[in-house]
Structure 1
């Protein structure tokens, strides 16, 4: 049968139009996921594709496979730098991402009283939203990180204009991307900040709080409600007590840091009492910092070492998230002393004085362990301004001690191990760092400050 050429043309155009009108499906599985907050029976719940989604997250830029293995489900990043790569990796692992939009700090980076400068920032952020809004790993937008950190409580105009600008950004996001909620990250729970957000930020869906201290009113919800916020919240950064909140210090103002094991104990108690227990308003949390960073010390906020070894805090997070321990757990450190003195003692030594170090440690599987130690010059300026120098200080001396498995048995899980060295020859403040490692790249960390003085 002969088909008329016009009919062939019609069929061709019909097929072409039908194909072009199909939804664009970028590489397989990259269709957008709808995220929403639902208010049900006086409680707030986060939903992803109509399924409840409680955030078990971490903030950081690496070790995402370890996060997945530990039972985590979400990542927090602070800007869109390398966001495509991070989102893609997260999607492959089945993780979600809070994508941070880098908002300038008020006053120090941007004068929010300048409407033209504020408008320029809004336009730049609009480009970022358009770039990433359809990625399937996107969970929500994090607008800024502690944007009023450097403002005085009495700088009312800057506060007002900053939070108005934040709300304009959130409004822009809702117009461009109705599928993902907006949040903004606060430094702790500040009365003036919560007041401004509650009053002026009607387009912020979720409040996020960076908090590294104990809770004052019995629950975070109560603290927030007392200041006017009655909606859902996330802990966008939390962990052990922050160095800025630590009150115990030496005579020369050096702060005392908990062992990684003591930090794990603090975090577990915190999670169970303030995160897991709040089924009404808390949507989840992000442990900080999923990686290694030098902030006051190389270990204070780090959940990994600079060599990528996981601390015992990671194992504790797996137990918190899954109620199961890993097959092989990292070692633990329960006590560290120099010449029988421990924190919070101010320890003074003479130059080249004999230095006896005792470590109370254990390994659940009774594995062989290695103890790496370093004496590092402590920067006295850092005791007054923790942001002064975040680079690692000079290593004065170091060593390693290998303990065979016979030192640690399942019947005697805790073991005291002694090391011997001498104090540095030059006077000044120092820190002794201890890293107890097992064969599975698990590690426990501890440090103790001391001061070398002349008689």
Structure 2
């Protein structure tokens, strides 16, 4: 099925026209049907009504197959449109680390056909903001010297624009280090917007792009807490995860700083991740718990977008302390932990403690990881601010997690690593 004009809610709805207007030297504005639009966005499409309620106006996906998913019986794009949300439609472009060969003409031809087909099928949907042509296809640790990738993206962008001149093309890279920006300027002139995924370095993206000669608009396409590669580590190599309270402060500060320092080049930001996932831990990047509760990072972004906190805020974790925090302990030893929490509305709080093994299935670039095992039998007491727990009987690396939930869909969390000798 190829969309032309769509009947949505009984009305014939035409595609949006999206343009980038240069308002001054290296200053830009995104226009949707002639009206200014700054992307207050997220990565992912979990709980889209809450995104709208919090003041967000768009989200990004990574692969075209996402558009086939249905929410409440509706295709994702229709569901987004009904909420008044725009979508940066991700089109997955092959990664060499996954086996794609940019020297293989047969693979290139197939990828080109797939890209053209995807754009042709969805281009007239009114929820589309722009095309996200590829995500970190250069590799998360790349210096950007892979000229063949940028040249192929330039070819693909031409195909997209020929098929659909009404929506800009953005390609997302992993940070702005190395020669990426220089080589994109030289070998990928068809790009309209540069998307940058950055975490601890996110506040400096705008200035860094200017220093490297970038003269087009950009978007911060992933940001959030400091990455697991950017934080302190224990003596046995376990990264130390910020608490949900610390993450909330980081999200808010990054959003404000990027907009202020974007020098008119920033067209929007996308907080990561508007869902949950296992990446280093089960809580590092998710803005929601796996059980669905929102964390303080959601509240922080809502305040950044709208200037108001939600009617019921997530609990606040003041501190977490333990005899085992970042320590080496003896097997089967009895340990203690204590958490201090506060709830703005005085809601009753449920506190749960979990001991897990340290993840050993560490992937790169956000690739899928398996969830490490947990050990509920080690918890002596559960359900209040103080805890006694036994260290596992098997030597190795572990973590203690604490989850605080109110009775209104909010939560807070923290964890620390420890090692059993």
TM over 0.5: yes
Offset at residue 386 of structure 1 (A) = 9.1
Deviates more, 1:46-55 or 1:83-92: 83-92
Offset at residue 402 of structure 1 (A) = 4.6
- Residue equivalent to 1:223: 208
Structure 2 length as normaliser, TM-score? 0.91
- Residue equivalent to 2:375: 396
> Unaligned regions of 5+ residues in structure 2, if any?
69-74
Deviates more, 1:25-34 or 1:364-373: 25-34
Offset at residue 61 of structure 1 (A) = 3.2
Q: Is the 8 A contact 1:106 1:151 kept in 2?
A: no
| 1:395 counterpart SS class | coil
| 1:224 counterpart SS class | helix
List aligned pairs for 1:101-140, cutoff 5 A. Answer: 101-106=91-96, 108-140=98-130
- Residue equivalent to 2:418: 450
Offset at residue 288 of structure 1 (A) = 0.5
Offset at residue 385 of structure 1 (A) = 7.2
- Residue equivalent to 2:23: 40
Q: Is the 8 A contact 1:427 1:452 kept in 2?
A: yes
Q: Is the 8 A contact 1:380 1:429 kept in 2?
A: no
Structure 1 length as normaliser, TM-score? 0.84
Deviations, residues 103-143 of structure 1 (Å, cap 9, x unaligned): 10136432212334312211111000000000000000001
Q: Which contiguous aligned blocks of 4+ residues in structure 1 show a shift greater than 6 angstroms?
A: 384-389
1:77 is aligned to 2:61: yes
| 2:371 counterpart SS class | coil
1:427 is aligned to 2:395: yes
1:213 is aligned to 2:200: yes
- Residue equivalent to 2:333: 353
Q: Is the 8 A contact 1:212 1:238 kept in 2?
A: yes
Q: Is the 8 A contact 2:224 2:251 kept in 1?
A: yes
Q: Is the 8 A contact 1:296 1:387 kept in 2?
A: no
List aligned pairs for 1:250-399, cutoff 5 A. Answer: 250-339=234-323, 342=325, 346-380=326-360, 382=362, 390-397=369-376
| 2:356 counterpart SS class | strand
For residues 361 and 15 of structure 2, what CA distance do their matches in structure 1 show? 49
> Unaligned regions of 5+ residues in structure 1, if any?
1-22, 404-416
Deviations, residues 422-454 of structure 1 (Å, cap 9, x unaligned): 22222221100000110102000100111122x
- Residue equivalent to 2:35: 51
How many residue pairs align between the two structures?
407
Deviations, residues 394-444 of structure 1 (Å, cap 9, x unaligned): 1112667556xxxxxxxxxxxxx3222222222221100000110102000
- Residue equivalent to 1:188: 175
CA RMSD in angstroms comes to 2.2
Offset at residue 147 of structure 1 (A) = 0.9
Which has the higher Rg, Structure 1 or Structure 2? Answer: 1
Offset at residue 41 of structure 1 (A) = 2.5
| 1:220 counterpart SS class | helix
Q: Is the 8 A contact 2:52 2:83 kept in 1?
A: yes
- Residue equivalent to 2:164: 177
Q: Is the 8 A contact 2:63 2:92 kept in 1?
A: yes
- Residue equivalent to 2:187: 200
Task: Name the CA shift for 1:328/1:235 in 2 (closer, same or farther; >3 Å).
Answer: same
For residues 106 and 164 of structure 1, what CA distance do their matches in structure 2 show? 15
Task: Name the CA shift for 1:29/1:188 in 2 (closer, same or farther; >3 Å).
Answer: farther
